[in-house]
Amino acid sequence: MSSFTNDILDVAIVGFGPVGASLAALLGQRGRRVAVFDKSDQVYPLPRAFALDHEAMRTFQQIGIAGALAAHMTPYRPTLYQGCDGEPIQHFDMGPSPYPLGWAPSYTFNQPALEAALRQAVAALPSVQVHLGHEVTDVQEDDRSCAVLAVRAPQGEVTQVHARHVVACDGGASPTRKRLGLPLKSLDFDEPWIVVDMHVKESKLAQLPATNIQYCDPSRPCTYVVGPGTHRRWEFLLMPDEAEQREMPHDAIWKLLAPWLAPDEARIWRAAAYRFHAVVLEQWRKGPVLLAGDSAHQMPPFLAQGMCQGLRDAVNLAWKLDEVLEGRMPDSLLDSYGIERGPQVEEVTATVKRLGKIICERDPVRAAQRDHELRAQQGHQVKVQLRQSLLPRISRGLLDTGETPEGMPFPQPIVRLLGANAADAQMMDDLARPGFLLVLRDAPAAAHLQPWSGMLAALRAQVICIGNETGGGAIPPDVLALSEADGLLARWFEQHGCRAALVRPDHIVYGVAADAADAQALLQRACARLGVAFD
């Protein structure tokens, strides 16, 4: 740590879990001088988070670890909600491909393998230093509007570290959040559950359900989820007499598992009692310090979004920190982080609470009424609902007008360079330059690009076009011309009635335009909103 003691870091990150590591990787790829501190000296070896969504996978694609994760994850199985009579009352699935973001909408995964891959990626970034076994014991703001961290090394020595910004990713108990006096707002959900991760013998796997099941049984609500390989997870609502136990004896756990497994058919990998609760920060930033991940919000696992929301924090924050640190955009850009993420997290949590209310009903009469009402709403034929349709877009903050499709993730089709062989097809993000994108339904004429050039340069935006219609002219050389394999983007533009989209560095749609003139006005508004000057 001595190389940083006399300098001011760009960013100090407290906590090296998936969110802190992802943020470190995203900032390190941008060349930012980052130090990460974690009081633990190794990866936690047992599973905790269990699901990833397509936005998370897009982030790992950007970091460069998607390939390394392939052996440690599997597409999320369909989920059936079973009512009191054991018959379905709800059915969630991912729908057919092509998937809008290039990845299946959900996966289950092995968290220790993910963390190992993230740490390997961070270790390859020369501008990022990681200090394991180092505990941040205090964070203060100094008279230069920087942060001063007190960091205790494993030998007990305390060193001061200065950073222009600090991001606390130090978990649900977040000592940083408590030191700053930032309270969590309760979102009114609190239920005791036990989560049991099992390695099941291969000879037994075929006898277990092939799909995920929410057992909405008032006598004992339970969740069953299929993980990669031999990993299966059960979650059980605890009864009042069990709720205060810190640990449940293994013989009691085997009694819970008895409908599915005998002790000689599997081994307990991890069993942990939790209170599933819902909380969120009201203030996501205090001076140079920002919070992310579990330190900023926690939610029940019924939509498998806990870690995914933390990764959204990292992606939202990384590009904004980079722009502010570079001096291209004002410090107030960072205020948009909480403005955007707070309401989005609360909307996700509201959906999770609605699902939790269905699952956790303990009264048999109300449970039977619940089953009847849910089936009646679907015409007494349980219909497939898309899991990804439950997730809200960003609805406020750095958006052009705030109307759909703004705030939505921009699609990632399979594409190839125009004129290249079909065998050369790739995901679009792998061909596009990181940063703002102006994506056009058709190739622009050079006359259209000339008035845009100053604004594109100010935003450092790349122009991408799909197709080769230029009114007879050649495609300008500074335009990335792509051909898509499945018409995903063409359908997206048609669905939203536009011919151009300005996409933020976090892949979120900033605004759309109907034609070239509209695109020029969109770029002008974006420059003004983001505080960047152009010629």
pLDDT score, position 129:
97
pLDDT score, position 2:
41
HEC assignment per residue over 415-476? EEECCCCHHHCEEHHHHCCCCCEEEECCCCCHHHHHHHHHHHHHHCCEEEEECCCCCCCCCC
* pLDDT exceeds 80 at position 183: yes
Asked if 80 and 90 touch (Cβ cutoff 8 Å), the reply is yes
Rounded mean pLDDT of 458-485? 82
| Host H or E run for residue 148 | strand 147-152
pTM of the model: 0.96
For residue 470, name the pLDDT band (cuts at 50, 70, 90). Answer: very low
pLDDT score, position 6:
62
Q: Which residues contact 503 (CB under 8 A, 6 or more apart)?
A: 410, 436, 437, 438, 439, 509, 510
Q: Which of 238-247, 514-523, 526-535 has the lowest mean pLDDT?
A: 238-247
pLDDT in tens, 315-358: 999 999 999 999 999 999 999 999 999 999 999 999 999 999 99
pLDDT score, position 26:
98
Rounded mean pLDDT of 146-160? 95
What's the CA gap between 387 and 454, in Å, rounded?
41
Rounded mean pLDDT of 176-190? 94
Rounded mean pLDDT of 85-113? 96
Q: Please give the angle made by the CA atoms of 128, 132 and 133, to the nearest 5 degrees.
A: 150
Asked if 482 and 419 touch (Cβ cutoff 8 Å), the reply is no
Rounded mean pLDDT of 421-426? 88
Rounded mean pLDDT of 199-211? 97
Which DSSP state fits 414? E
What is the overall mean pLDDT for the chain?
94
Provide the token pair at 381.
Answer: 């034929």
Q: Report all structural domains of the chain as residue ranges with CATH numbers, in order of start.
A: 2-70+109-182+282-339 (3.50.50.60), 414-530 (3.40.30.10)
Q: Which of 193, 235, 197, 196 is nearest to 213 (CA)?
A: 235
* pLDDT exceeds 90 at position 15: yes
pLDDT score, position 473:
60
Q: Which of 184, 499, 226 is nearest to 346 (CA)?
A: 184
pLDDT score, position 84:
96
Rounded mean pLDDT of 478-483? 92
pLDDT in tens, 18-74: 999 999 999 999 999 999 999 999 999 999 999 999 999 999 999 999 999 999 999
